[in-house]
Structure 1
């Protein structure tokens, strides 16, 4: 299975995802680090390179997600699927903390995704704090 992503597919994904990480909502403009393309269902597990299965992800979320499709919900201790940005609504599974520095899980899917992708690691929390002070974070809708 090829991992090549055509320019037209890249453009469609970038426009649809508003040039931000579909998991933690980091933008390339804020971080200065180019977004990567994440196969929601990894190629190693039969996923295809299609709009329905590829989304933008920041380097951190993409690297920590790796080829995982599920993780343990820290509240229940049960295994839950990871958030799928193509078929699920972000605001149903996540919210931002009152100071905009952390992503909070509202469901087992949200909590498991936060843990697996380390969405509140100290580096990104410190960056979000600076972005919030500058009025750059959280991104509009």
Structure 2
């Protein structure tokens, strides 16, 4: 993947993780990744519509997963797809810094990506809503 494509992914995302909304500026020593929404091993491509900007934590926890288990229903549920889904439909950031899944997709993604790990919630609380919502 060339640097121009990576820059396009960053700009399209507003320099924020497309999963947890963390701005790149919040972790200046830990680079964000242009991650494959559908992993190459599952026939995903390097095309822009299959790439999302992801912080190192979301990228690591997501891995090659396309689905996981909804913690509320126990059903296998697909993950949030940044190109096809609207973030505000599936998630909300609470005043205490926690990301709450509004839908089965949101709950499943928030759980698998460990969006509410204590260090991540603390960092989110230190940021303004403008920084998180662009």
TM-score after normalising by structure 2: 0.93
4+ residue runs over 6 A deviation? none
Q: Give 1:8 deviation, angstroms.
A: 2.2
Distance in structure 1 (CA, Å) of the matches to 2:59 and 2:133 = 22
Aligned residue among 97, 108, 111 for 1:112: 108
Q: Give 1:28 deviation, angstroms.
A: 1.1
Match status 1:81 vs 2:78: yes
Distance in structure 1 (CA, Å) of the matches to 2:112 and 2:59 = 10
Q: Give 1:136 deviation, angstroms.
A: 6.3
Aligned residues: 133
- RMSD value, Cα: 1.4
Match of 2:26 in 1: 30
Match of 2:58 in 1: 61
Match of 1:51 in 2: 48
8 Å contact from structure 1 (residues 128, 137) kept in 2: no
8 Å contact from structure 1 (residues 13, 54) kept in 2: yes
Gaps of 5+ in 2: none
Gaps of 5+ in 1: none
